[in-house]
Structure 1
Amino acid sequence: MTALPTLDRSDILLVVQSLAQVRRSGGEHPVSEASLFLQVRSLDGFSREQIESLAVAALQFFDLETDGPGGAPLRQELEKSADLETWAGILHANWNGEAVCFHSSGSTGVPARHRYTLRSLAGESAALAPYFTPLGRIVSVMPLHHIFGFMHSVWLGKWLDVPVVYAPPLPLASFFALLREGDVVMAFPFFWQSLLSVVRQGKGGGALRVPRGVMGVTSTGPCPHWVIEELLKSGPGGPVLAAVREVYGSTETNGIGVRCDGGEWYELGGQWETVTLPGGEKGIRRLVDGTRAGDPMALPDVIDWHPAEDRLFRPERRTDKAVQVGGINVYPDRVAACIRAHPLVRDCAVRLMRPEEGSRLKVFIVPECPLEEAAGHFGKPFRAWLAERLDTAGRPKRIRLGETLPVNAMGKLCDW
């Protein structure tokens, strides 16, 4: 497609339903109510706080004001109705069709808003489409308010003018039943790992098999290489997937590059050009309609660029980002590495507290010992151990224990 597509009321309803489902279940991408996936039509049973939160999120997604003379009346109009079809109509009537916005929390836990014009999304679609051919249908298990969920299903379906089927983010029997040859499945690493486990166990016999000729796309975070290898490996019934595409990027950048079938290198998307940053390192700059747009930027991670091919790269490790504690830069990843050195710590995650919690670091620890024994080990003796190794700003103020690190349904670390 060359003409710029737009969103109709049904597309807007899908996004609002995705936002509502999050608030209904209290999670990033709920799986506990699979039968209700994208089926929420009414806000009956939602609390006043949930409805107010949904109204703000919906207005922000469609780049509309939430306060002031323009925003407050619109927000109040949404909050008066319990019918999400009505919400979609209100948003459709007031949205100018120019841009949508996505939120990321980053390492600080403070939400950041990122605005994308539909024209820039079209450039991304044009760059991505060749990697996904041949494409009969899109089957998406992604949260549609997430940048990759929206981009790889709602928007790409409009751009390519192909059908889009939405399924719960679980490899249930119903998921296998809806697949057909030529589908491209848009998912995330945790889903692919779960699907692989189901196929390996042979639950349901031959009923839980992926048809031939299905491509899998994974995004939102790194997918373990062994998962991709197993998905592509031939077995008694052939490979699970005919092809796999990994999309590298972030909420801040959208898609940056694509890697095919577990290869070593990502290829920089056609919507980017390479540049030399002031410090001499290699960076990228966005192109919209072939014209430079925005400033040069570094990639989100530490990158190894191919020595001979200018547009090939591979992420080496995450950039160690600092957060401010009492005006002092501290590095949560470094603090976590220090805490993991404790003999009773199996794993941990460190984040900056949310504003309502305070202004210090907090840590979630998975202990080596049973939880019922752990409390006695992570009191004063543990804090004394921390004090010997970390300065005041770098010492987590709040400690929480659990059997596993908190992750959302896409397998990514989340707040606690």
Structure 2
Amino acid sequence: MRSFTLTPEQIVSILTALTADELARSFGRYVEGLTQASWTADTRLGVEGADVTAEQARACARRAAIFFGMPEDAVRVGPNDRFGDWAGQVSAMIRAEMTAFRFHPATHGGAADTRHAADDIWQDARGVAGLLQGRRRAATLVSRGSLMGLVSAVLAPNLQRLEVVDARRLTPDEMAESLRFGDVVIATPTLWRYLADTLPSIPSNVVGLSFGEALTPDLAERLRGRGLGAMRELYGSTETGVVGWRDSPSDPFLLFDHWSRSGQGLIRHRPNGATLPALPMDDLTWQTDRSFRLGKRRDGAVQIAGINVFPVKIGEMIAEHDAVESCTVRLSQRAGALDRLIASIKLRPGFEANQDLAWTIDEWCRARLQPPERPRIYTFVEEAGAEPASAASAGGVSSGSATATA
């Protein structure tokens, strides 16, 4: 039964992830991954710790209770709480009963959380655990506060009795030294790009597990060149759960055994014998009744660092700036580079396209958008969405158009 329980240390890792996410969503406070990884059971919520205010602590406690399917006021908040205190409360409650998880979507757009029966999440974890067969240890760089993070970095390793190492605390050199024969490394494609650029080497028989935005063939090839073995990729979402997997970006995804096709939708075959229909967040092009390739997102979202962002909504927000008449935002994907958003801006009469204005707009965006949602390049054009009137280097200005890198 130990495989189907959560240890206090694992609960702390979930609570710290939820706290960081809630601070970003509700209070506009972004906590870097390295800082979040440094929070432990002994870290205070308040001063000399996570530096969370009383109001923020109450919101984070509500988020924790919601995540574990409990009443919103289930986690009591005290003036000198540490993360370990909250973990103790949660541990006692889920030992008595744990029937559901409630996950916020991988976006900061304010959408409602999604409820999943706990048995369904454990069912997904059993599917992912099968992909970890034969691994000796898991090194993870992902947050445990999402559905995909919880399943891949906590529940599935539990089912295989794997030790889990939080590799977010390690430098690339330290991580290269710590990796061992038989490890599995869990990361999003954005983090895999970072590893491809910075890891000096990877020991033999180390495999990867990826989820989030699509893994590109170029990135997979670069990682194989570093010494990585198999690279397995998961497909799923907060709304559906974990649906499928593949061994290579060139392969179609395969459904896990507890899923089947139903027209353009899916059917989950639940542990209690019931069935549950689900609509995937992407258009699926079926190769067979059990294999598919991904099309476009149904809701217009794109993923930056595993976070869903909505270019249309971001463009509408930027268009509220006093100097902006209209704006379109698109995703830029280039081999060997990080995915990034590019904003094409048409200015109102009387405003001059230059780098200073681009910086002013970027500062305005920083106060309203989370880091994954912010464009990294601002291009001024005669018509929003058009190409610049002429080529301009980053930060340069020419012929009535300007391009600035944030």
| Change in 2 beyond 3 A, CA 1:251/1:55 | same
CA contact (8 A) 1:28 1:408 kept: no
1:315 maps onto 2:294 in alignment: yes
Matches within 5 A, 1:62-101: 62-66=68-72, 71=73, 74-75=74-75, 77-95=76-94, 96-101=97-102
* Map of 2:258 onto structure 1: 271
Structure 2 counterparts to residues 375-414 of structure 1, below 5 A: 407-408=371-372
For the residues of structure 1 that align with 2:91 and 2:163, how far apart are their CA atoms? Answer: 22
1:221 Cα deviation after fit: 2.0
Asked if residue 303 in structure 1 is aligned to residue 284 in structure 2, the reply is yes
Deviation at 1:260, TM superposition (A): 0.4
Whether contact under 8 Å (1:365, 1:400) holds in the other structure is: no
Instruction: Give the corresponding residue for 1:61.
Output: 67
TM-score, length basis structure 1:
0.69
Shift of 1:38: 4.8
For 1:255-294, list aligned pairs within 5 A.
Answer: 255-276=242-263, 282-289=264-271, 291-294=273-276
Which residue does 2:116 correspond to in 1? 116
- 2-structure distance, mates of 1:44, 1:215: 39
- How many residues are aligned here? 336
CA distance in structure 2 between the aligned counterparts of 1:12 and 1:131, rounded to whole angstroms: 24
Aligned partner of residue 291 in structure 1, secondary structure:
coil
Q: Shift of residue 272 of structure 1?
A: 0.6
Aligned counterpart, 1:31: 33
C-alpha change, 1:320 and 1:148, in structure 2 (3 Å) is: closer
1:365–1:399: 8 Å Cα contact kept in structure 2? no
Partner Cα separation in structure 2 for residue 148 and residue 128 of structure 1: 10
Alignment partner, residue 334 of structure 2: none
CA drift at 1:250: 0.8
Counterpart of 1:164? 164
- Which residue in the other structure is 2:56 paired with? 50
Residue number among 191, 206, 210 corresponding to 1:218 in the alignment: 210
Q: Distance in 2 between matches of 1:310 and 1:407?
A: 39
Deviation (angstroms), 1:162: 1.6
The percentage of counterpart residues that share the same residue type is 22
Query: How far does residue 111 in structure 1 lie from its aligned partner after superposition?
Result: 2.8
8 Å Cα contact 1:55/1:79 also seen in 2: no
Q: Distance in 1 between matches of 2:354 and 2:174?
A: 37
Q: Secondary structure at the match of 1:248?
A: strand
Matched, 1:104 2:71: no
Contact kept in structure 1, 2:132 and 2:157, CA below 8 Å: no
Larger deviation, residues 218-227 vs 165-174: 165-174
- Could you tell me which residue of structure 2 aligns to residue 9 of structure 1? 8
Q: Distance in 2 between matches of 1:8 and 1:109?
A: 32
Shift of 1:240: 2.8
User: Tell me, what secondary structure is at the counterpart of 1:87?
Assistant: helix
Question: Retained in 1: the 8 A contact 2:104–2:238?
Answer: yes
User: TM-score, normalization: structure 2?
Assistant: 0.71
> 1:223-270: CA deviations, max 9, x gaps?
23311121124xxxxx43111011111111121110103333111111
Shift of the alpha carbon at 1:321?
5.1
Deviations, residues 48-80 of structure 1 (Å, cap 9, x unaligned):
2221121111111111111xxxx3xx44x3244
Per-residue CA deviations over 1:84-114 (Å, capped at 9, x if unaligned) read 22211112222322222211165x8123212
Separation of aligned partners in 1, 2:315 and 2:103 = 30
Q: Distance in 1 between matches of 2:204 and 2:141?
A: 19
Match of 2:19 in 1: 20
1:105-146 deviations in Å (ceiling 9; x for gaps)? 65x812321223332122212222332332111111111111
Cα-to-partner distance string for 1:142-184 (whole Å, 9 max, x where unaligned): 1111111111121112211221111217753222222111101
Once the two structures are superposed, residues 21-49 of structure 1 have per-residue CA deviations (whole angstroms, 9 ceiling, x without a partner) of 45678666623537725576211322122
Do the aligned residues in 2 keep the contact of 1:141 with 1:187 (CA within 8 Å)?
yes
Q: Are the structure 2 counterparts of residues 111 and 320 from structure 1 closer, same or farther at C-alpha, using a change threshold of 3 Å? A: closer
Which runs of 5 or more residues in structure 1 are unaligned? Answer: 200-207, 234-238, 277-281, 323-331, 350-362, 379-397
2:219 is the alignment partner of 1:227: yes
- Where 1:51 maps in the other structure, the secondary structure is helix
Task: Note the residue ranges of structure 2 that are not aligned, 5 or more in a row.
Answer: 302-309, 319-323, 332-340, 347-352, 377-406
Provide closer, same or farther for how the CA distance between residues 37 and 227 of structure 1 changes in structure 2, counting only shifts above 3 A: farther
- Report the counterpart of residue 244 of structure 1 in structure 2: 231
Structure 2 distance, partners of 1:219, 1:228, is 13
RMSD: 3.9
Letter in 1 for 2:163: P
Counterparts of 2:250 and 2:31 in 1: how far apart (Å)?
29
